[in-house]
């Protein structure tokens, strides 16, 4: 589904991503872990071109999205993204947050979008918050709404950029639970996270990125049970 070839990204003289090659297949749940500043978030943000790669190519659904001629807005309609700081639109109600993008993309009319919004809100038990504004919600509620806002576009893949890192500990569970539900429904997911339990339980593949390089990747059993790379060993020793 997503083919990444020779992907590099530099900020000025500082090279953050160094020639990453990988393929994310439909239905896969790839969890990316690594120390902070390792480039894992930058890698994820390159996948939907929120960061413009310095070199390399990304092919999504047979379309080379790194080609300047590609209409990136069309591509992004099929790639959901969830942010660490939720980024709900502060000037819109919860319902409008969800219905705006599908309407602007003309994949739904107003009535359809509102119906879909209410269905999604029911899914996360927040239908009573439809007319609330984002800053009236808790962090966990915001993040669950941010997730269903992406889902309203019916994406083929969901990218999660540390979705639980800004949450109070007691709210992490409700967000992870929703992500597990998504995973069970077969959604293709790429998740940058520090939640090792989630990686172990949900991932089909865990990727360890450090210094902008994929140092090791494996299915979770081997990854956590029998790590090979020295840096990964010391990283796991610290976080587990």
Binding positions for another protein, rule: CB under 8 A: 48, 50, 52, 73-81, 83, 85, 87-93, 100-101, 104-105, 133-136, 146, 149-150, 153
Cβ contact 23:6 at 8 Å: no
Least distance between another protein and beta carbon 220 (Å):
27
Specify whether the backbone of 25 is left (phi greater than 0), alpha (psi in -120 to 50) or beta.
Answer: beta
Closest separation between CB of residue 35 and another protein, Å?
23
Report whether 53 contacts 65 (CB < 8 A). Answer: no
Whichever of 71 and 170 has its CB closer to another protein, that residue is 71
According to DSSP, the residues that pair with 80 across neighbouring strands are 158
**How far apart are CB 64 and another protein at their closest, in Å?**
18
- Report which secondary-structure segment, H or E, holds 129: none
Place of tokens 């992500």: 179
- Of 52 and 228, CB closest to another protein: 52
Q: What DSSP line would sit under 143-194, residue for residue?
A: HHHHHHHHHTT--SEEEEESTTTTS-HHHHHHHHHHHHHHHHTT-EEEEE-S
Q: Which of residues 144 and 149 has its CB atom nearest to another protein in the complex?
A: 149
Nearer to another protein, 43 or 83 (CB): 83
Q: Closest separation between CB of residue 70 and another protein, Å?
A: 13
**What is d(CA 31, CA 45) in angstroms, rounded to the nearest whole number?**
14
- Three-state SS for 88? coil
Comparing CB distances to another protein, the nearer of 87 and 204 is: 87
Shortest reach from residue 123's CB to another protein, in Å:
18
Distance in angstroms between the alpha carbons of the first and the last residue of the chain? 32
């Amino acid at each position: 589904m997503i083919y990444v070839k020779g992907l590099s990204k530099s900020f000025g003289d500082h090279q953050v991503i160094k020639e990453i090659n990988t393929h994310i297949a439909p239905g896969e749940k790839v969890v990316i872990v690594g120390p902070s500043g390792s480039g894992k978030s930058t890698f994820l943000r390159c996948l939907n071109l929120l960061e413009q790669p310095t070199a390399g190519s990304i092919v999504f659904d047979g379309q080379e999205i790194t080609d300047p001629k590609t209409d990136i807005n069309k591509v992004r309609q099929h790639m959901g993204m969830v942010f660490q700081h939720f980024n709900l639109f502060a000037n819109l109600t919860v319902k409008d947050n969800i219905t705006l993008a599908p309407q602007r993309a003309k994949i739904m009319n107003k009535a359809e979008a509102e119906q879909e919004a209410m269905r999604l809100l029911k899914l996360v038990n927040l239908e009573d918050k439809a007319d609330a504004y984002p800053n009236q919600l808790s962090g966990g509620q915001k993040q669950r709404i941010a997730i269903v806002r992406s889902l309203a576009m019916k994406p083929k893949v969901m990218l999660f950029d540390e979705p639980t890192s800004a949450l109070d500990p007691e709210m992490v569970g409700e967000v992870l639970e929703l992500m597990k539900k998504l995973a069970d429904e077969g959604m293709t997911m790429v998740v940058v996270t520090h939640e090792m339990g989630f990686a172990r339980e949900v991932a089909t593949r865990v990727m360890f990125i450090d210094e902008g390089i994929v140092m090791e990747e494996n299915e979770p059993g081997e990854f956590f049970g029998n790590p090979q790379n020295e840096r990964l060993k010391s990283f796991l020793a610290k976080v587990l």
